[in-house]
Amino acid sequence: MAIYRIHDNLHVADDRMLRQGSLARLDFLPEAAITRLEARETISRIKSPPLAVLPGWVLRGQILESCGITDIEQLLEADVTWLGATLDKPPELIEKWQAEATLWLMPEKKLDGCSCRGKYD
């Protein structure tokens, strides 16, 4: 299932709220609801950069490409157990990679009116 950026606070089932700026899998929503939310620009699919362009990720990008994983969204969607077994790496390392990759998708807080990220937001 695709990963979406939430542009406006979004109330969902069980009085839960997805906060503006967060990332979420919306597989619990009907496809028609997702389409309406996209049309209203309440959500959008993430723009996932290739792993190999991230600083410090060239080697990891090459390793993951051998499994068909070339961008952050694919890495986040990958089954940790399967990927760890395929790469002969502990699942905890794959989870660490996923957590680190997620940070590249989060908007930076502006410091002194400047935000250097944004190319993939």
Classify each residue of 58-78 as buried b or exposed e, where b means 16 or more C-beta atoms within 10 Å of its C-beta: eebbeebeeeebbbbbbbbeb
Q: What confidence tens digit (pLDDT) does each residue in 7-32 have? A: 999 988 778 899 998 888 898 899 99
| Residues 53 and 105 placed together within one structural domain of the fold | yes
| Residues 93 and 38 placed together within one structural domain of the fold | no
Q: How far apart are CA 27 and CA 24, in angstroms?
A: 9
pLDDT at 13: 75
Strand residue runs (E) in 33-118: 43-45
CA 54, 67, 28: angle at the middle one, nearest 5?
A: 80
User: Residue 30 is part of which domain span?
Assistant: 3-45
| Residues 26 and 69 placed together within one structural domain of the fold | no
Tokens of 47: 């723009």
Q: 76 pLDDT exceeds 90?
A: yes
| Residues 30 and 14 placed together within one structural domain of the fold | yes
